[in-house]
Structure 1
Amino acid sequence: MGAGASHSWLWFVDILDRMGFYDIHFINEGDILKEGLDRLDVLLMSGGDTFAIAEGLGAEGSDKLRSFINRGGLYIGTCAGAYLPLRSSMEFLNQFNFIDVKISNISRRLSESERHLFQKVACSSYGCDFVYHVAREDVLLEMVNGFKTDGKKEMTAPLYGGPSMLPSEDIEPIATYKGFTKKTKFLVEEKLAEKTLIGNVAVAKKSMGKGHLYIFGPHFEHPRYPEANRIIIQIILEESKERGTHPLKKEIPPPPKVSPLFFEELRRELSHSRMVAFAMEGSPLQWMIDNKWYEPEKIRVFLEVLWKRLRYLESGGEVDVDLQDPNGMISRLKGITDILRKMKKGIDRGEATNGLAEDLFPNLKKVTSDFLTIYFSRKRMESIRSQA
């Protein structure tokens, strides 16, 4: 949830919560550089801006990630998290190059007329070339090499800019792009979309040292696609079994507690933020942040993650809070409300609000991850005690 991360890491949160995986740590590039991977068995890298992620990690972060995988760690990357370890000559990305595979959705594979067409649709600069996107929403996938979901070889998952990989001896394909559905939204003519996707690798596995990388072009972690979710869960469970680990770790000393008054204040401020955010929805605005477009509707994606879990925390009296400064979380949320009110006024007056948005979303990420740290800490403790 650091530099370059979009909101899609919250989709992983929903999966892990539903499946009872509570030993969760939310880390950014700074944590990785400070040995933050040492306590992990699994690293989930979600969507966003691959270049910003790579730049934030740098050569030192790449070395940390390589060591994590080589010693037996499991890396699961979707969309931007899938692009990150692929071979590249681009600055920052060339510090990774864990997987020797090429992508089909890059402009050097297009004719001049096709290049001109794709420059008018969704694309991201890639040196002299650009990575382009041909379709959004549902795509049809075929499971290969013995992989199945609920006994079926076909499934659907949403595509939001993830890679289409060409076959390579360096990867084991898990799923390929097979076709489209009624829900597919084409960004170009269907024939060009077929040329770019169909038959190419959508999901792949790579062994590295004692560990593995699983990379997903489509968003298998999207909460509205339970079949796709089960593939991710299956991978985590099977890999954990091989390593003799389990999503629930041994009990740790309980952190400091906060009183129910903390959550009363949190609910009050969260209510204020939600009301302002709701009033902003429907505005024909987009903000470009870290090469990703954000709409007003994305704001409540973060806030609702807190809101729907708040009652659970309120119901338990005093709650363990594994944070250095829990009251700082309230202050940050008040700051978010203040930013939102300024943005709403700016929108009503027709003023530019991009600077405010650039301040808003990092704060939303931080307050959400802090809240979820409290939430999963309590969930983990309750689960351990119930099994004692």
Structure 2
Amino acid sequence: MKTSYLSNAIGLLAIFGSCVWASLVQAKDIENNSPSAKHVRVAIYDHAKDFCKGTKNLKRFLTPENGFVLTVVRPDEIRKGVLHNNYDVLIMPGGSASSQARHLEEEGRDQIRKFVQEGGGYVGICAGAYLCTTNKPYSLGLVNAKVWDLAHWARGTGTVSLEMTSAGCQALKSSDQIVDVNYGQGPMLAPGEDSDLPGYQVLATYKTEVSKKGAPEGTMVGMHAIVRTMYGTGRVIAFSPHPEKPSGPESLMTEGVRWAGRGKTP
């Protein structure tokens, strides 16, 4: 069974490569990493009464000393339009994509789309990466991506290795091509079929996998783990794994947020 799933994955990846790169947005639009003297104004979504672990983890390093000003925003604030003119980038952290969508309601999801369309950034982590795809009726549809093998989404957690692409090493300032990172049942991303959206650029793929709870072996290796694209004039980056956790490497998240936050000039 392992050989069958692995061969299927390899065959699909050959198709993915041509699909993704054939519809990439202009490189100059997504590869501008020029430094900025301004602090990046970061909004972190959180609907929990007490801050979720993702929020606490991000607060450790998205600090003024590192060039960020961070604020927690609630679903009702997003529905009222708080993102516009107040923030450069929104982070949707881990948790449950369906729960995030439910708390945001349709109005809140529309506000996020408008924010990004007009130049705001979006960083999706695990659940937030699920949410930004085109996979479900409640999805934001910011990234032309679907979720591969969704039937086995609850495949377990653990440490996995990522293989950074050359674009990923440059964009996220990684000197290592292979990095270890925490995996918490995030999406295996694959190119979507929305003709109204551009393709995405792959920054990292899964080199190793987690295949517990009946998930077939071989389906995760080679799948897309970190991708980026444009939505309107806004920048979007999706992280399937959790580099923001204490095990890191948090630098991947730092540079991802910095890149996404540079797309909007107040």
| TM surpasses 0.5 | yes
Q: Where do 1:281-296 residues align within 5 Å?
A: none
The aligned amino acid for 1:50 is: A
Q: CA separation of 1:243/1:30 partners in 2, compared to 1, >3 Å: closer, same or farther?
A: closer
**Residue 177 of structure 1 corresponds to which residue in structure 2?**
206
Structure 1 gaps of 5+ residues are 108-130, 246-388
Q: Does 1:23 align with 2:44?
A: no
Q: 2:88 aligns with which of 30, 35, 41?
A: 41
| Structure 1 contact 78–220 (Cα < 8 Å) conserved | no
Q: Does 1:102 align with 2:149?
A: no
- Separation of aligned partners in 1, 2:81 and 2:185: 31
**Residue 117 of structure 2 corresponds to which residue in structure 1?**
70
- Separation of aligned partners in 2, 1:72 and 1:48: 26
- Separation of aligned partners in 2, 1:57 and 1:8: 18
Q: Does 1:231 align with 2:249?
A: no
Q: 1:132 aligns with which of 153, 156, 166?
A: 153
Q: 1:8 aligns with which of 54, 65, 84?
A: 54
Q: CA separation of 1:240/1:47 partners in 2, compared to 1, >3 Å: closer, same or farther?
A: closer
- Separation of aligned partners in 2, 1:73 and 1:241: 8
Q: CA separation of 1:60/1:3 partners in 2, compared to 1, >3 Å: closer, same or farther?
A: farther
Q: Where do 1:105-254 residues align within 5 Å?
A: 105-107=149-151, 132-148=153-169, 149-168=173-192, 170-180=199-209, 186-188=211-213, 192-195=216-219, 197-225=220-248, 228-240=249-261, 243=264
The aligned amino acid for 1:230 is: S
Match of 1:47, SS state, is coil
The Cα of 1:244 is off from its aligned counterpart by 5.5
Q: 2:105 aligns with which of 52, 58, 61?
A: 58
Structure 2 gaps of 5+ residues are 1-45, 193-197
- Separation of aligned partners in 2, 1:101 and 1:188: 25
**Residue 369 of structure 1 corresponds to which residue in structure 2?**
none
| Structure 2 contact 225–240 (Cα < 8 Å) conserved | yes
Match of 1:56, SS state, is helix
Match of 1:215, SS state, is strand
- Separation of aligned partners in 2, 1:97 and 1:242: 18
The Cα of 1:89 is off from its aligned counterpart by 3.8
| Structure 2 contact 146–190 (Cα < 8 Å) conserved | yes
- Separation of aligned partners in 1, 2:97 and 2:188: 15
| Structure 1 contact 3–53 (Cα < 8 Å) conserved | no
The Cα of 1:145 is off from its aligned counterpart by 4.3
The Cα of 1:99 is off from its aligned counterpart by 2.4
- Separation of aligned partners in 1, 2:256 and 2:150: 29
**Residue 32 of structure 1 corresponds to which residue in structure 2?**
78
1:177-211, CA deviations, whole angstroms, 9 ceiling, x for partnerless residues? 1115xxx6x52478x2322x111101111211111
Q: CA separation of 1:187/1:239 partners in 2, compared to 1, >3 Å: closer, same or farther?
A: closer
1:85-119, CA deviations, whole angstroms, 9 ceiling, x for partnerless residues? 111344xx15x223232212312xxxxxxxxxxxx
**Residue 79 of structure 1 corresponds to which residue in structure 2?**
126
- Separation of aligned partners in 2, 1:166 and 1:79: 15
The Cα of 1:170 is off from its aligned counterpart by 2.2
The alignment yields a C-alpha RMSD, in angstroms, of 2.5
The aligned amino acid for 2:117 is: N
Q: CA separation of 1:33/1:233 partners in 2, compared to 1, >3 Å: closer, same or farther?
A: same
Q: CA separation of 1:132/1:147 partners in 2, compared to 1, >3 Å: closer, same or farther?
A: closer
The Cα of 1:132 is off from its aligned counterpart by 2.3
| Structure 1 contact 3–56 (Cα < 8 Å) conserved | no
Query: Greater helix percent: which structure?
Result: 1
The Cα of 1:52 is off from its aligned counterpart by 1.2
1:42-95, CA deviations, whole angstroms, 9 ceiling, x for partnerless residues? 1111111211110111221121101111111111010111111111344xx15x
**Residue 265 of structure 1 corresponds to which residue in structure 2?**
none
The Cα of 1:22 is off from its aligned counterpart by 5.0
TM-score (norm 1): 0.50
The Cα of 1:18 is off from its aligned counterpart by 8.1
The aligned amino acid for 2:150 is: I
**Residue 282 of structure 1 corresponds to which residue in structure 2?**
none
| Structure 2 contact 145–189 (Cα < 8 Å) conserved | yes
Alignment length (residue pairs)? 211
1:133-188, CA deviations, whole angstroms, 9 ceiling, x for partnerless residues? 324121111111422154221111111111011245722111101115xxx6x524
| Structure 2 contact 91–123 (Cα < 8 Å) conserved | yes
1:251-273, CA deviations, whole angstroms, 9 ceiling, x for partnerless residues? xxxxxxxxxxxxxxxxxxxxxxx
